Structure 1
Amino acid sequence: MLFDFLFWQEQTGLNLLLYTLFVVGAVLATLPRHAPVWRSGYFQLALVGTLLSGGLVVLYGSFVAKLACVASLAMVLGYVNQPDLKLVAYALLTSLGNLGRAVPAVVNQLEPPRQASLRLKRTWFYVRLFLVPLGLLVLFHVLFSLANPRYEALTASFLTLLGDWFARVFEQISVPHVLFFLLGLALTTSALIIVPVHFFADHESRFGEFVRRQRNRVASFAVRQPDFSTKRFQLLDLRKEYLAALAVFGLVNLLLLVENLVDVNWIWFGFEPEKGFNLTQFVHEGTYVLIFSILVAMGIVLWFFRRNLNFYAPGLRWLRLGATVWVVQNAVLAVSVGLRNYYYILHMGLAYKRIGVYGFLLLTLFGLGTILLKIWQRRSAYSLVRLNALAAYAVLLLLAGGNWETWIARYNLQTRFDTLDLGFLLNMPGRMLPELVEKRAVLAQIPNLRRENSDGTIDSVGAAKAQQLLDARVANWLHDYQAEHTWKSWTYADARAYEQLHRIGLAAKSDGASQTAHVQFLLPTSAPK
């Protein structure tokens, strides 16, 4: 009932925080004082992340904050279900597994008692007993309707009245609302009722933090050499695997050194794109290819250091040195990718993808650091997955703490840019509109304003048209906010934007000066709900 009351036909804001606090409070209240989950650092981290991201939802209402809040709450429920879990992904999957088991468990508890079951069987017996008389009744009704027009008219009027009554009844029943209520019932059931899901915890218990030597598998390189005389295949021994790894690290290090020298000489210091230089292709294609090469390099290191090559004493020092140089060079390559992204932002403006690239690069640098742990401390792949999953969760919380739309609009509205994607700014959430209205004079100073249509084509927009589009966007948002937003979907950023735009609109109405002539968006006649 609380889920339906807070979320039905509402946008997400304060309601998500209230529901999250209810679920967290109910779960914590039912936990024993000495429950093992209280000693889990992962549970404590997820709990803090849940409260923090819930607060950020109320502050900004961004999609990243909502995603972080939902994911954090799911992690909390997963760790409550299995306190020994460490992997973030397994905690999420355990929470989903509990959803699949809690609902059927509750449904099974709704079976009627034994006496009610006996009454139901007796009722069904009498229903079947009267099926034949009921069929004869329908038959004679059809015959009388065909034979007597007055009888037919009387029954038709009765059926019409009955149909109108049923129509009025079903008008009060909203099928989407009923389905939404059932969805809330299922989600709340899975949150409050814990049915142990041991599968992922049992699977995780098989892994260790460090690589162990496997004496029954001397070789781990899955390449076989045919022996045509005996028609048998023999695995390459550990020394040949070591030579192959050393050759890979040596050759690719040289190739990567050339790439890094070119990048350092070209884009690290004083990079200025030449006239006609395709900066978009330089950043988009180059960034994605280089990121993919870093991921491939990490995969190769994980492959060679997955088993007994970690214990090959004769050449382990040189192998670790070559792998370390390769990891460091990939870190240099990641910095080059970050510089490419920076130059795009410097010359073309800021966008969601550019922010996402920096978040991904942070995870890449952290992942390269964990690769060094694997090389020098013989860490297992499980250990790396555990650490990098925690880092990904930390980056998600970091991104949730940003008012990115306002910052993007503030950065892109500079006269030094020759081109501005006005459609991109106007399609952003309404909380950035005050920034756009305050700097609307900049729109007349940017030579190329463009807007992408629904069919993918791009149109040029004149300065006057841009002002009209801005006024229409502000007017529509103010109207929608006043009509649709209630206290349940309240966020600080939206409420502040509404007050600022309302104040600007009132000032424009009372001021007849020419500099405010463009501020003609319609103001709501009443306050929001």
Structure 2
Amino acid sequence: MKKPALFIAAILFSTFFYDQTIGLNLFLFSILTIVILFINNQSQFKNRKTQIYSIAYLITGLTIFFHSSTLSIIANLVAFFTLIGHLSETKSSIYVHWLNGIYTTIAGLFHRNFALPKTETDEEEKTQIDYLHWAKIILIPTVILIAFIALYKDGNPVFSNIIETIDFGFINIQWLLVAGLGYYLFNNIYDPIEVEPATEIDLQTNNTLLKTEAFSIPKLKQENQLGVILIALLNVLIVLYLITDITFLASQQDLRASAYSAQVHNGINALIASIVIAIMILLYVFRGNLNFYKENTTLKRLAFTWIVLNILLVLSIVFKNSQYIYYFGLTYKRIGVIVYLLLATIGLVTTLLKINSAKNNWYLFRINTQAAFIILIISSTVNWDYHITNYNFNYAKSMDFNYLYNLSNNNTLLLNEQLASTTLDNNSIQLIKDKYNKYVYKLRTNNWQELQYDNFKLNTK
């Protein structure tokens, strides 16, 4: 069952991707990948996480059909590696899924045939399938046959005419090479493998922080005192900053765009860095035995307070960034700031949970990489080019038309709609028309493998 399925998958792979751009084909490939994986890993697909990762992978493939973007393609690739790696060991962490997924995709076939110790069953299979023997059977007779055909052509004009009438133009070497690549890929991933010792180490490492033999009350008392003084001072400093920041914003009844611009550019990077440093300081202070020191209650309360104050700092940055968006419009960088702040907030909350429950740093790494994966998948489903364009035309105080024009084709149909409802100069109107005409031509010349949702939207107009 395995070999026929792999050959069929290879033919479909080449049909989907040979000489085609990305569109419907990547979603069809996602379905095909899950079918191949299911054939050889049916028991793992009963696992709830496997089902969730499969759905996430299909969603990213479908997202590319609706709006092909770099982000959606990256999300699809990450989801692919995650699913492959998860099937290799369902209990490992997501970052180990990525490692196993990448390794399986690149070298799965070689690993299974050369890296693993051979059992008796493997040796029997190797005896039954002698690839060198099959290569000899195919290549040697073929080469000799071609040589004799060339000789006979010169010796008999009738035979030469028969040979020359045979047209091998229907054989597309490049198509066959792509099919070969597809066969190699599916042969790699049909039975995902583990990277050792990384997988084993991950499985053996739990999330709980343990007391070490270096536990010393006098030393921990000193560490606790240092931590209390340091974090108490940092709490005072951040409270002072938040008060001055709120005072400044409240005192400006009509804050100019230029003032917000200065605030954002001069302050946000430093504030974001301060949040990262805050997390690093807390991880250092609560890195070991201090978590089990009975007199650390004050230190923990100060740490929790500092985390909450840092979350308030995040909210202040969100407010400034939203005002910047209000004045100057949406861009990918301003959206990126929001995503980063979301990740920073998750990092602060999980740091609080780590301290409260005496978890180790592996816990933070595991839960935050999982959160990053979820945010990547969710964010890839949004047509950002469309929403950036829509917001900037309808809500922003000012708009950089050239920025919108240089976005991908995902906003082209919307730009064309703005011609009738928005006041634009003649140059901008002509640029939109040119972009629209080129995109419509591309859609109408798409093969079925390249179809996008916009093909159907265009046909309904």
Tell me which interval the TM-score lies in, with the shorter structure as reference length. 0.7 to 0.9
TM-score, with structure 1 as normaliser: 0.71
Cross-structure match for 2:243: 261
Counterpart pick for 2:426 among 460, 464, 467 = 464
1:116 Cα deviation from its structure 2 partner: 5.1
1:356 Cα deviation from its structure 2 partner: 2.0
Cross-structure match for 1:456: none
Contact 2:326 2:397 in 1 (8 A): no
**What amino acid is the match of 1:103?**
L
Contact 2:36 2:186 in 1 (8 A): no
Counterpart pick for 1:292 among 252, 256, 273 = 273
**What amino acid is the match of 2:432?**
L
In structure 2, C-alpha distance between the alignment counterparts of 1:47 and 1:360, rounded to whole Å: 26
TM-aligned CA distance change 1:207 to 1:193, over 3 Å: closer
Per-residue CA deviations over 1:359-388 (Å, capped at 9, x if unaligned) read 222222122111111111111111112211
1:106 Cα deviation from its structure 2 partner: 7.2
Question: CA RMSD of the aligned region, Å?
Answer: 3.1
Residue 332 of structure 2 is aligned to residue 332 of structure 1:
no
In structure 1, C-alpha distance between the alignment counterparts of 2:435 and 2:42, rounded to whole Å: 53
Cross-structure match for 1:129: none
Cross-structure match for 2:122: none
Contact 2:23 2:449 in 1 (8 A): yes
**What amino acid is the match of 1:402?**
V
Cross-structure match for 2:46: 38
Bigger Rg over Cα: 1
Cross-structure match for 2:153: none
1:282 Cα deviation from its structure 2 partner: 2.4
**SS of the residue 1:237 aligns to:** helix
Counterpart pick for 2:458 among 483, 498, 501 = 498
TM-aligned CA distance change 1:2 to 1:328, over 3 Å: same
Counterpart pick for 2:450 among 489, 497, 502 = 489
Cross-structure match for 1:480: 442
Cross-structure match for 2:149: none
Contact 2:89 2:194 in 1 (8 A): yes
Cross-structure match for 1:438: 417
Identity of matched residues, %: 23
Contact 2:71 2:380 in 1 (8 A): yes
Cross-structure match for 2:8: none
Counterpart pick for 1:307 among 288, 297, 316 = 288
Per-residue CA deviations over 1:187-225 (Å, capped at 9, x if unaligned) read 323222333433321121242211110023549xxxxxx
In structure 2, C-alpha distance between the alignment counterparts of 1:271 and 1:291, rounded to whole Å: 26
1:303 Cα deviation from its structure 2 partner: 1.0
Counterpart pick for 1:346 among 323, 326, 333 = 326
The 5-angstrom pairing of residues 49-64 of structure 1 reads: 49-64=56-71
TM-aligned CA distance change 1:280 to 1:173, over 3 Å: farther
Counterpart pick for 2:32 among 22, 30, 45 = 22
TM-aligned CA distance change 1:384 to 1:323, over 3 Å: same
In structure 1, C-alpha distance between the alignment counterparts of 2:208 and 2:169, rounded to whole Å: 63
Cross-structure match for 2:108: 102
TM-aligned CA distance change 1:279 to 1:84, over 3 Å: same
**What amino acid is the match of 2:330?**
L
**What amino acid is the match of 2:241?**
E
Cross-structure match for 1:524: none
TM-score, with structure 2 as normaliser: 0.80
TM-aligned CA distance change 1:385 to 1:439, over 3 Å: same
**What amino acid is the match of 1:328?**
V
Deviates more, 1:300-309 or 1:44-53: 44-53
Contact 1:430 1:497 in 2 (8 A): no
**What amino acid is the match of 1:437?**
N
Contact 2:328 2:396 in 1 (8 A): no
In structure 1, C-alpha distance between the alignment counterparts of 2:216 and 2:186, rounded to whole Å: 52
1:81 Cα deviation from its structure 2 partner: 0.8
In structure 1, C-alpha distance between the alignment counterparts of 2:371 and 2:322, rounded to whole Å: 23
In structure 2, C-alpha distance between the alignment counterparts of 1:480 and 1:366, rounded to whole Å: 42
**What amino acid is the match of 1:404?**
W
Structure with greater helix percent:
2
In structure 1, C-alpha distance between the alignment counterparts of 2:215 and 2:183, rounded to whole Å: 52
TM-aligned CA distance change 1:107 to 1:427, over 3 Å: farther
Cross-structure match for 2:133: 113
Cross-structure match for 2:191: 193
Per-residue CA deviations over 1:332-356 (Å, capped at 9, x if unaligned) read 0110111111011100001112222
In structure 2, C-alpha distance between the alignment counterparts of 1:43 and 1:415, rounded to whole Å: 42
TM-aligned CA distance change 1:350 to 1:8, over 3 Å: same
Residue 75 of structure 2 is aligned to residue 68 of structure 1:
yes
Cross-structure match for 2:213: 215
Question: Which consecutive unaligned segments of at least 5 residues does structure 2 have?
Answer: 1-10, 115-125, 144-163
1:270 Cα deviation from its structure 2 partner: 6.6
In structure 1, C-alpha distance between the alignment counterparts of 2:234 and 2:372, rounded to whole Å: 28
Cross-structure match for 2:344: 364
TM-aligned CA distance change 1:426 to 1:32, over 3 Å: closer
1:271 Cα deviation from its structure 2 partner: 6.2
In structure 1, C-alpha distance between the alignment counterparts of 2:31 and 2:134, rounded to whole Å: 39
Contact 1:267 1:339 in 2 (8 A): no
TM-aligned CA distance change 1:174 to 1:356, over 3 Å: farther
In structure 2, C-alpha distance between the alignment counterparts of 1:194 and 1:295, rounded to whole Å: 36
Contact 1:433 1:497 in 2 (8 A): no
Question: Which consecutive unaligned segments of at least 5 residues does structure 1 have?
Answer: 124-164, 220-235, 446-462, 504-529
Per-residue CA deviations over 1:69-107 (Å, capped at 9, x if unaligned) read 22112111101111221x211101111122343232578
Counterpart pick for 2:84 among 69, 77, 81 = 77
Q: Which has the higher contact order (CA 8 A, sep 6+)?
A: 2
Counterpart pick for 1:92 among 54, 77, 98 = 98
**SS of the residue 1:413 aligns to:** helix
**SS of the residue 2:132 aligns to:** coil
**SS of the residue 1:208 aligns to:** coil
1:272 Cα deviation from its structure 2 partner: 3.7
In structure 2, C-alpha distance between the alignment counterparts of 1:309 and 1:238, rounded to whole Å: 6
1:29 Cα deviation from its structure 2 partner: 2.2
Contact 1:82 1:196 in 2 (8 A): yes
Cross-structure match for 2:256: 274
In structure 1, C-alpha distance between the alignment counterparts of 2:134 and 2:168, rounded to whole Å: 33
Per-residue CA deviations over 1:409-462 (Å, capped at 9, x if unaligned) read 1111138634x32222222232322221222256536xxxxxxxxxxxxxxxxx
Q: Give the number of aligned pairs.
A: 412
